[in-house]
Structure 1
Amino acid sequence: MNTSTSYSQQSNNLPTFDLTNMSLILAPNAPALYNTDGTLNWENGTFSNPLAALEETYENKTQTLILNTNLSYLLTDNLFFKLNAGLTTNLFEERKITPHTINNPAFGLTSERSSSSKSDQNTNAYIVEPQLQYKKTLNNHRFDALIGSTYQTTENNSGSMRGVGFSSNALIRNIGAANQKYIGETRTSQYKYLAFFTRLNYSFDNKYFLNITARRDGSSRFAENNRFGNFGAIGGAWIFSDESFIQNLSWLSFGKLRSSYGVTGSDNIGDYAYLDTYSVSPALYNSETGLYPVQLHNANYKWEKTTKFEAALELGFFKDRVNTSIAYYNNRSTDQLVGMTLPSTTGFSTLLINSPAVVENTGWEFTLNTNNITSANWTWKTNFNITFPKNKLVAYPGLEEGTQSSFYVIGQPLNIIKTYEYKGLNPDTGMFEFTDFNSDGKFNALDKKLVKNLNPSFYGGIQNSISYKNFTLDFLFYFKKQDNYNINKLYVTPGAPIYNQPVQMTDRWSPTNPNAPYMRGVYNNAKVDNLATLFRDSDNSISDASYIRLKNASISYTLKIPKVNIESLRIYLQGQNLWTITSFKGMDPEFSSFGYLPPLRTYSFGMQLIF
């Protein structure tokens, strides 16, 4: 019997507002943000100081307890009973404190406008997995059969309260001291999952392998008529390096061919989505609390299915100092659980259905692992991987007649953008020009003929681990080849809003600068504003966003202190997102959204003790 226990506690105090966007668009000639005494500058009530948002805070505390037990018992010489069980409890509490000081003092507000809110969400989950396993060896034949089941339950309980108006901000954390108190909804949701599965492994002469699995999964997220789904897979492998005609090749130490085919399912949707659901109305009618509908029912949707095929070749050279693998995969997803767009007249924006679309994901994956140096004091290992993924919408019945035709194209990836074709800036007029494909003198969705793929062409990483005696240096470079939105997506007509813009946009058209990349600014001009909108939605707003990033780096020192029974003491310093090489102009090449904080560069120091 093996048991493990894990307890963690976390506390965070964060601003409620991402200042990134505000720092980008704040006018260069805006007043100073702080007064000389360090207080916020409101410029005599004429300036909305963006740093006032820092007066409002968001706090949360999390406590997590995880208990696991693995029990196995030998019933006979070949029959084992196993039981895996686990319990997870998560307590989450969050607060939002909004003092009146986030507002301009010119408004004359007091703590009577301050507010405080608190919410709790508690999650309890447990899982039980009983299994029977039978192992048998007959000469060169080995059999390993297993049957088992899984039962899992997750229950969420949440509630909230809010207080508005305090005699003093010193009492703002005590909602009971508020002049007005609001009690939010108390919500309880329960998710149950049940599965029965079996697996048969067969091997002959430790060279030929066959694996067959089958399972029946049930989820409380589906109605009774579709609650269960059947899935399975078959796989095989051949270690050809053990064949007599290969063993004479001294440079080849390992060779394996493997392949598998199977069907998996997904119930990754919200709880009770197959029911008509209601919520408590915050407003009273005739002094009574009412309900209002929040979701339409659909009792006919079912498990989402993905058919997966994979084939791979694994090789080892020079006594496994060099190992490599080449794999191909082909996954087809059907019956995707998505929200179908509904007319607003229905009162609901979407209805959960199984999409008739067929989506295919294929790709090649390559890995290379090398032991470059192995000596008494020095070791150096390198791991390299690269993936070439492809995504395609294979079929979608009724696509052209539906609203989804604006986003998807048969034979193209899902993550595409339809854009206008940018022809350039007319040096005579100083105006942007675009291709009017249907020659009707208008620009609308019918002229968005260009298709831009925002999926990566390839991605991968290279990791090195270098050790000298007790010191170890590890670092990982991550790279990606892709297109993404560039700074042209931020373009607005100069002078229309009082926004700061990228310095490149100061290079705009004038009679003395006819070949500038940006249009001249004409304030409050409908034609110019429309051209600016077309420019943001054109292919000129998408460009190469490839990058190489030093994702992780760490240095550590390990020592043993046997006198005090310390088996290992490891001290380490590590960093993340340390360095990026890219020609991309924008916040960060990894994300398409502008105005949000990019991945942080972080450093951490720690110790690991084993005794």
Structure 2
Amino acid sequence: GFRQNQIVEGNTELINFTTTNDLISYTSNQTTEGYFSRVNYDYDSRYYISGSYRRDGSSRFSKDARWGDFFSVGGAWRLDQEAFMEKADWANLLKLRASYGEVGNDNLGGYYVSQSLFALDYNNASEGGILVDSPGNPRLQWETNIQTDAAIEFGLFNNRVAGTFEYYNRKSEDLLFDVPLPVSSGLDDYPDNIGSWVNSGFEFDVTVGIVRNSQFKWDFSINASTLKNEIKELSQEEIINGSKKLVVGGDIYDYWLREWYGVDPADGMALYIASPEAIEAGGSDLREIDGTTVTTNQNNANYNFVGKATPDVYGAFRNNFEYKGFQLGITFTYQLGGETYDSNYSGLMHSGTYGTALSTDILDRWQEPGDITNVPRLDAAQTAAFGAGSSRWLEKSDFLALRQVNLGYAFDAELVQKLGLTGANVYVSGENLFKLTARKGMDVGESFNGTTSNRFTPARVLSVGLNITL
């Protein structure tokens, strides 16, 4: 807080001011306590077994739900160490492994999610006033994340080919979630354990020594991952949260949006697929185009699952070259499939009467009857209808990015020794050099749920340096 209205000029003591403004204070405390144990067993460097147990307590939950018990178990088998593999000189490493583990999660933002919180600054003159600020949930309990993995690790042909292929299944039970509340409640949301969902997929990582001799070395590495989500259980029939709708059997990354139809060539109005309720009620906003009933009123648009944020596959690949003291590394990242909801682009297309920059795509807008375009006319009175959240703002998330390039040179050892050094090398590197996307400037992969925020894309960085070891 602070005080104002000075009595004696030059005296900065608080007592010399007559009015106290915005004086606030708060105290937040969280306590966690945990107990851990772990056992590892190795037999003849062939068979491995491990197990662990932990008991965690968190002050975020009520006293009746404060403690959670979690365990894990895993095993591995080195096939390459078995007698029947003695003559298989092509296999340097061949290992099977599997694991099952549980871990708890108590993070739902606040430290007091099991308790209702009240705001004390709603006074009426001298009469004190208190309002509910956030509802607590004394039944709240630990979220449990259960992960099952199975993998094969391999190193073949003197490790010229090495890598891992893995399947994972991650189930989250008693999910902690801020459930949205109706506006009429006067509150935004309340904390609850809403159900369970499963994330599963494959991960692949391999390195191949394409060329390896005394003069030249070339290694190529690539990794790839997939992800599938399925909601298994919910505490209510559905939960709508922003551009997503959670239902049993669905995917938390599927978009639930108005269905965009296009632009009417006759008058440049934005068109949406009309909802069954709107069609039954009728109205002047409804139009029939090529056998499809559409509406110019975004409030009468039909909502549907119109895309997904998760990619089909994503990962990176890298080339490493070495030649007579030179080293060159080039790393790309990529993503195939999925869609991004580009809210930044939406704001650049329909800003209403505010003076602001617009996307150059506005030049493709409808201007006269007969124009075929996907950009409605300029009309400040239709900002809400034209810019409403819909499948119009979904853009393909495929991308290829040159993430990093490193070029270095290690000086000859004999020269380095003559200079009284043990090592010296010079390098130049670049990061975030380019990114190819469906829409220029769109930062695909900014968040896994497919949304964008008002921030700059990663900066391009160029570096030059000299490393000397004495």
State the AA in 1 paired with 2:327. Answer: T
Match of 1:483 among 335, 339, 351: 339
Contact 2:431 2:461 in 1 (8 A): yes
Asked if 1:307 is matched to 2:166, the reply is no
Distance 1:242 1:493, change over 3 A: closer
Aligned to 1:458: 313
Q: How far apart, in 2, do the equivalents of 1:181 and 1:573 lie? A: 57
Aligned to 1:371: 209
The match for 1:584 is 439
Q: Distance in 1 between matches of 2:206 and 2:453?
A: 36
Alignment of 1:287-436 (within 5 A): 294-344=133-183, 346-355=185-194, 357-376=195-214, 378-400=216-238, 407-436=245-274
- Superposed CA deviations along residues 382-441 of structure 1, whole A, max 9, x for unmatched, are 3210001112222213224x6669722332221222223333333344433332241234
Establish whether residue 532 from structure 1 lines up as the match of residue 386 from structure 2: yes
Alpha-carbon offset, residue 519 of structure 1: 2.6
Residue of structure 2 in register with 1:219 after alignment: 58
**2:389 equivalent to 1:550:** no
Aligned residue-pair number: 437
Instruction: Give the drift of 1:280.
Output: 6.6
Deviation at 1:532, TM superposition (A): 1.2
Within 5 Å, give how 1:461-476 maps onto structure 2: 461-476=316-331
Q: TM-score, normalised by structure 1?
A: 0.62
What secondary structure is seen at the aligned counterpart in 2 of 1:551?
strand
How far apart are residue 238 of structure 1 and its match?
1.4
Whether contact under 8 Å (2:267, 2:368) holds in the other structure is: no
CA distance in structure 2 between the partners assigned to 1:177 and 1:455 by the alignment: 61
Structure 2 unaligned runs (5+)?
7-13, 283-294
Residue 39 of structure 1 corresponds to which residue in structure 2?
A: none
Aligned to 2:69: 230
- Deviates most, 575-584 or 229-238: 575-584
1:518 matched to 2:372: no
Residue 506, structure 1, aligned to residue 363, structure 2: yes
Residues 494, 521 of structure 1: 8 Å contact kept: no
**Correspondent of 1:194 among 29, 33, 47:** 33
Distance 1:284 1:608 in 2: 68
Distance 2:420 2:103 in 1: 48
**Separation in structure 2 between the aligned mates of residue 313 and residue 445 of structure 1, nearest angstrom:** 53
Give the Å deviation of 1:363: 0.7
TM superposition shift of 1:304: 0.9
Aligned residue in 1 for 2:289: none
**1:569/1:218 CA distance change after superposition, 3 Å:** farther
SS in 1 for 2:87: coil
Match for 2:438: what amino acid?
Answer: S
Q: For residue 272 of structure 1, what is the aligned residue in structure 2? A: 112
| Structure 1 position 371, deviation (Å) | 2.8
SS for the counterpart of 2:83 is coil
Is 2:262–2:272's contact at 8 Å kept on the other side of the alignment? yes
Residue deviations 1:416-471 (CA, integer Å, cap 9, x gap):
22223333333344433332241234654771123321122211001233334544
- Aligned-residue Cα RMSD (Å) equals 3.8
Unmatched runs of 5 consecutive residues or more in structure 1: 1-160, 167-174
Structure 1 residue 162: Cα displacement: 6.3
The aligned counterpart of 1:597 is 456
- Closer, same or farther in 2 for the Cα pair 1:515/1:404, shift >3 Å? closer
- Aligned partners of 1:573, 1:284: CA distance in 2, in Å? 66
Describe the shift of the 1:412–1:345 C-alpha distance in structure 2 as closer, same or farther (beyond 3 A): closer
Partner Cα distance (2:442, 2:302) in 1: 29
Residue 386 of structure 2 aligns to a residue whose secondary structure is helix
Is 2:108 the counterpart of 1:254?
A: no
CA distance in 1, matches of 2:409, 2:16: 53
- What SS does structure 2 have at the residue aligned with 1:194? strand
- Please state whether the residue corresponding to 1:319 is helix, strand or coil: coil
Change (3 A) 1:178 1:469: farther
How far residue 488 of structure 1 moved from its aligned partner, in angstroms, is 6.3
Measured in 2, the distance between the counterparts of 1:176 and 1:252 equals 81
| C-alpha distance in 2 between matches for 1:164 and 1:194 | 45
Q: TM-score, normalised by structure 2?
A: 0.79
Instruction: Determine what percentage of the aligned residue pairs are the same residue.
Output: 25
Shift of the alpha carbon at 1:605? 4.9
In 1, the alpha carbon distance for the partners of 2:419 and 2:348 equals 65
CA deviation profile, 1:326-357 (whole Å, cap 9, x unmatched): 111111101122222334555532222222x2
Counterpart selection for 2:81 from 238, 242, 248: 242
Letter in 2 for 1:485: Y
Provide the C-alpha distance between the structure 2 equivalents of 1:349 and 1:418, rounded to a whole number of angstroms. Answer: 20
Where relative contact order (Cα < 8 A, 6+ residues apart) is larger, the structure is 2
Aligned match of 2:290 = none
Letter of the 1:484 counterpart: T
The 2-side partners of 1:555 and 1:179 are apart by 66
The whole-number CA distance in structure 1 between the counterparts of 2:383 and 2:183 is 29
Which structure carries more strand by proportion? 1
C-alpha displacement at 1:258, in angstroms?
1.0
- Cα deviation for residue 568 of structure 1 reads 4.8
Q: Which amino acid aligns with 1:336?
A: L
CA distance, structure 1, for counterparts of residue 428 and residue 17 of structure 2: 46
The 2-side partners of 1:347 and 1:264 are apart by 35
Determine if contact 1:494/1:522 at 8 Å carries over to the other structure.
no
C-alpha separation in 1, matches of 2:107 and 2:308: 26
Deviates more, 1:555-564 or 1:587-596: 555-564
Distance 1:445 1:209 in 2: 61
Distance in 1, matches of 2:214 and 2:102, equals 48
Number of the residue aligned with 2:11: none
Q: Do the aligned partners of 2:423 and 2:469 also contact (CA within 8 Å) in 1?
A: yes
Distance 1:571 1:284 in 2: 70
Deviation digits for residues 149-204 of structure 1 (CA, Å, limit 9, x no counterpart): xxxxxxxxxxxx669899xxxxxxxx999998857545544433322222222233
Structure 2: distance between partners of 1:445 and 1:218: 49
Q: Given that residues 204 and 224 in structure 2 are in contact (C-alpha distance below 8 angstroms), is that contact kept between their aligned partners in structure 1?
A: yes
Decide whether aligned partners of structure 1 residues 272 and 530 sit closer, same or farther in structure 2, where only a CA change above 3 A counts.
Answer: closer
